[in-house]
Amino acid sequence: MLLLPHFLGSLAVVKAYVWPSPMLDALEAARWNQDGHNSALLATFIKPCNSDLVEGTNSGRADVADWVRTAYHDMATHNVADGTGGLDASIRFLEETSRSENPGTGFNNTLSEVRVVNDRYVSIADSLAVGTIIAIENCGGPEIAFRGGRIDAREPNTPGVPEPQQDLDSHIAAFARQGFTQTEMIKLVACGHSFGGVEHAPFPEIVPEINDPNNTLSVAHFDTTFTHFDNDVATEYMSGTTQNPLVVGSNDTTNSDKRIFGSDGNVTMKSFADSPELFASTCADMFARMLDTVPRGVELTEVITPLPVKPHNLILRLAGDTLKLAGEVRFWNMTADAQRTVFMLLDDHTGGTRNVTLTSSGVSTAVSGRYSAAWYTFAPRPSNALTFLSLDAIAGIKSLRFVVDHGKLEDQGGVGFAVQDGVVFSETSCYTSQHPPYKWRLDVAVRNGLDPSRVFLVQLGAEDSVERQIIVETDIPRPTQPIAANANYSIWSIEMTDDNSYFVGAEVDGVKFSGNDASGAADLSPCAV
């Protein structure tokens, strides 16, 4: 959370962002739509907290611990002096996961979950960060500030993850290189080692085989609550009852937690044992610092807080004289209420306003139910199919406003929620062949007077050779003779011969935008012959 000194309160108006802002909208959704309606994918990987999707139940491991360790090992290559390394998803390179400093299957497990997120606005590194936050928060941990904007590394980073057999001075030096003081090292290790433990297979010298059907991978846990965030790692350490294999391991050489935790005479660990609240708030800061340690030159966004009112997945299509609009709106900090009324005001290009009653479409929650949000759809959905409001294409649409329970007008401080109807998918798009060799035509309706410098297609889910999300644009040639769709739209067409899906986009006065409506051969109707 961004905290301002209170005397600045009346001067500084801190705005997270104004909708629409595609990248922030996507990051906000990944961060806050955790469970229930329209939930983002990441939260599904850590429920319940003792689940281990890859290793199976009773493995002794838990996905939540893998997320935290993967994020740390990805960050731990950072070098404050030269600005290299940091949270940049370089851990996805085989060269890094093959290093002796990165043993075990946990990195692959987490990355297989991270990779499911395939969003043109969210990097793999941002998914790793937000997944780690969601994992911690939903397994008893504190709320952690999330900033987006991480950039995926092109290549592996220099080695630099600490290992248990190294001495205290090496660890102090390694954390200093990563940007953390000795005290911060104690804090970060204690916070991380609130989850999980040491597994026999990668560390046979530290952990023997346990032969427990409830712990099939023989994992010696750092504390008795290894799937849950709490200060047990500190209380058990201070009381001398700890079974932490990096404290009470039989070979003192690999007792790195013992050396680290005791390195300030136990002052930090005692404070954690004495106060679960201090432990939680300290770990919220330290985890955020860990995730925000990025290579020099990467600029992170402001902390992404939930938008109070947020339109979601607006889709506009032109069908003759009708502009079809689908979408939903999310009201944060609201529970379901059958009596509630929600009106949406649609302002068009002629100065007219239409007033539509919205229908409840679901509820979502975040941070283990600490927050809830109510969703309303622009047009009722009898099934999962998209349903549209029909608007007059001549009048078009400029922006949206909302009124809940006849209360205050929700219009983003007067600017409204801008909707771009200048370049939209046209339902005259059609296919000749939906199978190889593919042949289809994508028609884009361009509003007269918009005068775009370019109209283009954006490929869905494109990646470069090292899996980085990229936005591939294919220009649609400007028609020599405008083909009128109606009095206010002209059609630009492009013949396609592949099986990808595409969004439509345009550039106007140097500003690019693109829609949410992805189409490919499989989505279209046959062309008239």
Ligand X SMILES: *[C@@H]1O[C@H](CO)[C@@H](O)[C@H](O)[C@H]1NC(C)=O
Q: Which residue has the tokens 């029909």?
A: 390
Smallest gap from residue 345 Cβ to ligand X (A): 6
Q: If contact means CB under 5 to 8 A according to the sort of partner, which of ligand X, ligand HEM, none does residue 196 touch?
A: ligand HEM
Q: Which is nearer to ligand HEM, 204 or 320 (CB)?
A: 204
Choose between 350 and 433: whose C-beta lies nearer to ligand X. 350
Q: Is 427 in the site for ligand HEM (CB under 6 A)?
A: no
Q: At closest approach, how far in Å is the CB of 273 from ligand HEM? A: 18
DSSP for 344-401, written as a single string? EEEE-TTS-EEEEE-EEEEEEEETTTTEEEEEEESS--SSSS---EEEETTT---EEE
**Contact map string, positions 58 to 77, toward ligand HEM, x by CB under 6 A:** ---x---xx-xx--x-----
Q: Which of 46, 395, 442, 485 binds ligand X (CB under 6 A)?
A: 395
Q: Which of residues 289-348 bind ligand X (CB under 6 A)?
A: 333, 343, 345
Q: Which of 24, 134, 198, 476 forms a contact with ligand HEM (CB under 6 A)?
A: 198
Residue 193 corresponds to which tokens in the numbers above? 């080692």
Tell which one of 1, 5, 265, 509 touches ligand X (CB under 6 A).
265
Give the sign of the dihedral formed by CA 79, CA 82, CA 83, CA 88: negative
User: What does 333 interact with, of ligand X, ligand HEM, none (CB < 5 to 8 A by kind)?
Assistant: ligand X
Q: How far is the CB of 88 from ligand HEM (least distance, A)?
A: 17
Half-sphere exposure of 317 (CA within 13 A, CB side): 20
The 3-state DSSP class for residue 276 equals helix
Measured between alpha carbons, how far is 180 from 115 in angstroms, rounded to an integer? 29
SS3 assignment, position 459 = strand
Assess whether the previous peptide bond of 20 is cis (omega < 30° from 0). yes
Which two tokens mark 348? 């068009």
Q: Which of 75, 100, 93 is nearest to 85 (CA)?
A: 75
Q: Which stretch binds ligand X (CB under 6 A): 80-88, 205-213, 438-446, 511-519?
A: 205-213
Q: Identify the three-state secondary structure at position 444.
A: strand
Candidates 43-51, 167-175, 210-218, 313-321; binding stretch for ligand X (CB under 6 A): 210-218
Binding mask 139-178 for ligand X (x = CB under 6 A): --------------------------x-------------
From 139-147, 193-201, 382-390, 392-400, span contacting ligand HEM (CB under 6 A): 193-201
Q: Which helix (H) or strand (E) holds 26?
A: helix 22-32
Query: Applying CB under 6 A, what is the total number of residues that bind ligand X?
Result: 29
Binding status of residue 433 toward ligand X by CB under 6 A: no
User: Which residue, among 431, 450, 455, 463, has the nearest Cα to 503 in the 3D structure?
Assistant: 455
Residue 307 to residue 15: CA distance in whole angstroms: 10
Q: With the CA atoms of 19, 21, 25 and 28 taken in that order, what torsion angle do they form, in degrees rounded to the nearest 10? A: -90
Asked if 528 touches ligand X (CB under 6 A), the answer is no
- Per the CB < 8 A criterion, the answer to whether 444 and 455 are in contact is yes
User: Whole-number minimum distance, CB 100 to ligand X, in Å?
Assistant: 11
Closest to ligand HEM by CB, 74 vs 410, is 74
Between the alpha carbon of residue 198 and those of residues 205, 247, 438, the distances in Å are 11, 11, 52
Radius of gyration of the chain (CA): 26
Q: Does 193 bind ligand HEM (CB under 6 A)?
A: yes
From residue 152 to residue 191, what is the string marking binding to ligand HEM with x (rule CB under 6 A)? Answer: ----------xxx------x----------------xx-x
- Specify the residue, 125 or 404, whose C-beta has the smaller distance to ligand HEM: 125
Say how far apart CA 158 and CA 381 lie, in whole Å. 52
Residues contributing to the site for ligand X (CB under 6 A): 94, 97, 105, 108, 165, 205, 212-214, 238, 240, 251, 253-254, 262, 265-266, 333, 343, 345, 349-350, 355, 394-395, 403, 448, 487-488
Residues contributing to the site for ligand HEM (CB under 6 A): 61, 65-66, 68-69, 72, 104, 106, 162-164, 171, 188-189, 191-193, 195-199, 202-203, 256, 290
